């Protein structure tokens, strides 16, 4: 049994004070139970930056990768960025040898949980940095309003 499934789970402590977030708490508990989560790697390094009130950028350092080497998929609230196995190093023939390989080109897979009210606006690979832009769209029904008392 996972530590987080017990009564000490932060999610179990928050559930009595939250309405309509059961699926969110369940998603986080599944994420923590995932054996890969506890031992996730820091490769490739990334930043998440808040660029405005409701906009964000995910920046992933991908030196040596080109657009065809990267796959970005979004489904069911999960944004997955992974490398695509290449068949041959571009520009390298049988006469060229790599003397030292300091730039890692190993397989990677990163997954980010994205809220339902967040849109992925686009992705750009420039100077070895993959930037994915996101924007949180707040519907009128979720914006703050004053309730009049009768």
* Residues 86-142: tens digit of each pLDDT: 545 555 556 778 788 777 677 889 998 888 889 999 999 999 999 999 999 988 887
Verify that 58 and 115 share a domain, yes or no.
yes
Verify that 36 and 56 share a domain, yes or no.
no
Distance CA 3, CA 44 (A): 28
Verify that 27 and 71 share a domain, yes or no.
no
Distance CA 44, CA 57 (A): 16
> Structural domain tally of the chain?
2
Domain that holds residue 27: 10-40
Verify that 19 and 47 share a domain, yes or no.
no
Stated pTM of the model: 0.65
Convert the pLDDT of each residue in 20-78 to its tens digit: 767 777 777 766 665 455 445 678 999 999 999 999 999 999 988 999 999 999 998 88
Verify that 59 and 81 share a domain, yes or no.
yes
Verify that 30 and 100 share a domain, yes or no.
no
Verify that 20 and 77 share a domain, yes or no.
no
Verify that 35 and 109 share a domain, yes or no.
no
Cis peptide before 44 (omega within 30 of 0): yes
Verify that 83 and 121 share a domain, yes or no.
yes
């Amino acid at each position: 049994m996972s530590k987080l499934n017990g009564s000490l789970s932060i999610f179990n402590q928050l559930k009595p004070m939250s309405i309509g977030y059961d699926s969110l708490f369940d998603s986080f508990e599944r994420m923590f139970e995932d054996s890969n989560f506890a031992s996730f790697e820091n490769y490739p390094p990334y930043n998440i930056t808040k660029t405005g009130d409701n906009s964000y950028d995910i920046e992933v350092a991908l030196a040596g990768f080109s657009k065809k080497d990267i796959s970005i998929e979004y489904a069911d609230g999960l944004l997955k960025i992974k490398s695509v196995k290449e068949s041959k190093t571009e520009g390298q023939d049988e006469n060229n040898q790599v003397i030292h390989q300091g730039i890692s080109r190993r397989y990677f897979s990163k997954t980010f949980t994205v809220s339902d009210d967040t849109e992925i606006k686009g992705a750009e690979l420039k100077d070895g940095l993959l930037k994915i832009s996101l924007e949180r769209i707040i519907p009128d029904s979720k914006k703050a309003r004053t309730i009049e008392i009768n």
